[in-house]
């Protein structure tokens, strides 16, 4: 008669064996509702074994999630010999968050109302606020973000103060050079400025696409009043904003009692802030700067050295992000053809 221990159910035997196998599968956690959303923008493989995935992380409300590090991400692979996902430890697969400037370019257009009311009343405060904006948005050694400054008055033109650059000192110098003689038309062509700046943003997006680089452009409009020039219809300005690509974000900063809050919210569809007086202006510029910085830094270039080698074919890759109690996961795949050894990160 067969002894009891020889009649153990197969499942129990496998469980006992698994407990002794250091290379056993670690199942992907289940049962939680995703509170982080990972959206893959691009991915590529580089011999001898590097897998690179460029993605954006947002919360369930669509807000960008910035500041994540390698420790916030867990990766799993599922190859042709795997029955389920296998956790990859750091010892098995070195990984890093890389500088995303090689695949991503973020631009910010600072669009300043330099009509008569601003130049004659609020210019020093505006210059100080604009400088604080630059200090928040331009992060040293983070070349993915550049800022350009344009301005408008009553003329039918968008005036360039300084082209896109990540040189904070050059931007500060340009702002310092603004004086009361810069404008020759005290009126305000706000709607024309919105239309022209949107065209500028769209052209910059196309420029990055032609370079096989992903891009985003933020338009930050400051004004202390309403459109007075009436060169362009309000409906056309709204249409320009509404028809812009998803990669163009619109922010507006209003100052004082003469603004039309309804209009500024409409053309600042991403975010609108309002300052009662010049004492609050710097804080509002910094508030928008933080939003732009978070948006730019929610894009991650995650790279790791896979243990898969040539001949393993197409493999599943599961990327899990965690921030506090919030989690999210994305499943993609990569081709290990030509992979032969560990890579350098």
Q: What is the pLDDT of residues 188-213, one digit of tens each?
A: 999 999 999 999 999 999 999 998 88
Selected residue with higher pLDDT from 229 and 1:
229
What CA–CA distances, in Å, run from 98 to 67, 82, 140, 303? 13, 29, 15, 7
In a domain, 57, yes or no: no
CA 93-97-98 angle, 5° bins:
110
Residue 27: the pLDDT is 47
Q: Are 312 and 184 part of one and the same domain?
A: no
Q: Are 287 and 140 part of one and the same domain?
A: yes
Task: Quote the domain boundaries for residue 209.
Answer: 104-296
Q: Are 201 and 266 part of one and the same domain?
A: yes
Q: Are 188 and 77 part of one and the same domain?
A: no
Where is 171: in which H helix or E strand?
helix 168-176
Residue 99: the pLDDT is 82
Q: For residue 212, is it left (φ>0), alpha (ψ between -120 and 50) or beta? A: left
Residue 66 has φ and ψ, to the nearest 5°, of -105, 165
26-61 pLDDT, tens digit per residue, is 444 555 566 999 999 999 999 999 999 999 999 999
Q: Are 311 and 288 part of one and the same domain?
A: no
- Peptide bond between residue 48 and the one before it cis (omega within 30 degrees of 0): yes
- The answer to whether residue 4 scores a pLDDT higher than 70 is no
Q: Are 259 and 133 part of one and the same domain?
A: yes
At 345, list the tokens.
Answer: 């990160």
Place 25 in a pLDDT band, splitting at 50, 70 and 90.
Answer: very low
Query: Other CB atoms closer than 10 Å to residue 212's CB: what's the count?
Result: 8
Q: Are 252 and 315 part of one and the same domain?
A: no
At 133, list the tokens.
Answer: 């904006």
In a domain, 123, yes or no: yes
Q: Are 171 and 318 part of one and the same domain?
A: no
Q: 10 in helix, strand or coil?
A: helix
Q: Are 79 and 188 part of one and the same domain?
A: no
CA-based torsion, 26, 29, 30, 31: positive or negative: positive
CA distance linking residue 204 with residue 135, whole number of Å: 23
Beta strands per DSSP E along the chain: 36-46, 50-59, 73-78, 86-88, 95-98, 104-113, 145-152, 159-165, 214-223, 248-255, 271-275, 299-305, 314-323, 326-335
In a domain, 135, yes or no: yes
CATH number of the domain residue 266 falls in: 3.40.50.410
In a domain, 19, yes or no: no
In a domain, 155, yes or no: yes
- The answer to whether residue 103 scores a pLDDT higher than 70 is yes
In a domain, 271, yes or no: yes
Average pLDDT value for residue range 302-331: 96
Q: What is the 3-state secondary structure (H, E, C) of 234-268?
A: HHHHHHHHHCCCCCEEEEEEEECCCCCHHHHHHHC
Q: How many domains does the chain have?
A: 2
CA distance linking residue 123 with residue 178, whole number of Å: 8
In a domain, 22, yes or no: no
In a domain, 7, yes or no: no
What count of Cα atoms within 13 Å lies in the side-chain half-sphere of residue 125?
20
Q: Are 289 and 311 part of one and the same domain?
A: no
Q: Are 124 and 207 part of one and the same domain?
A: yes
Q: Are 179 and 317 part of one and the same domain?
A: no
């Amino acid at each position: 008669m067969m002894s009891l221990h020889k009649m153990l159910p197969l499942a129990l035997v496998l469980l006992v064996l698994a407990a002794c196998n250091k290379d056993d599968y670690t199942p992907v956690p289940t049962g939680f509702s995703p509170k982080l959303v990972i959206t893959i923008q691009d991915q590529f493989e580089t011999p001898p074994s590097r897998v690179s995935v460029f993605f954006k992380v947002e919360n369930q409300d669509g807000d960008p999630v910035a500041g994540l590090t390698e420790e916030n991400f867990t990766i799993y692979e599922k190859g042709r010999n795997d029955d389920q996902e296998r956790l990859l430890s750091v010892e098995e697969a070195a990984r890093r968050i890389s500088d995303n400037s090689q695949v991503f370019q973020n631009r910010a257009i600072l669009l300043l109302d330099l009509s008569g009311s601003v130049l004659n009343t609020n210019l020093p405060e505006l210059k100080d606020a604009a400088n604080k904006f630059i200090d928040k948005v331009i992060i040293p050694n983070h070349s993915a973000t550049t800022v350009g400054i344009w301005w408008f008055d009553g003329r039918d033109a968008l005036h360039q103060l300084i082209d896109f650059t990540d040189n904070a000192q050059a931007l500060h110098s340009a702002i310092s050079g603004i004086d009361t003689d810069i404008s020759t038309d005290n009126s305000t062509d706000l709607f024309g400025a919105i239309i022209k700046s949107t065209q500028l943003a769209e052209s910059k997006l196309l420029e990055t696409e032609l370079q096989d680089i992903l891009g985003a452009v933020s338009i930050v409009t400051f004004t202390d009043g309403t459109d007075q020039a009436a060169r362009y219809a309000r409906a056309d300005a709204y249409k320009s904003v509404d028809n812009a690509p998803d990669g163009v974000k619109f922010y507006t900063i209003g100052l004082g009692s003469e603004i039309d809050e309804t209009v500024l919210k409409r053309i600042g569809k991403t975010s609108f802030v309002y300052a009662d007086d010049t004492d609050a202006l710097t804080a509002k510029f910094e508030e928008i700067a933080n939003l732009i910085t978070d948006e730019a830094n929610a894009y991650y270039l995650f790279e790791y050295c896979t243990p898969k080698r040539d001949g393993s074919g197409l493999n599943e890759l599961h990327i899990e992000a965690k921030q506090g109690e919030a989690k999210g996961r994305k499943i993609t795949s990569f081709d290990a053809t030509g992979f032969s050894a560990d890579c350098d990160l």
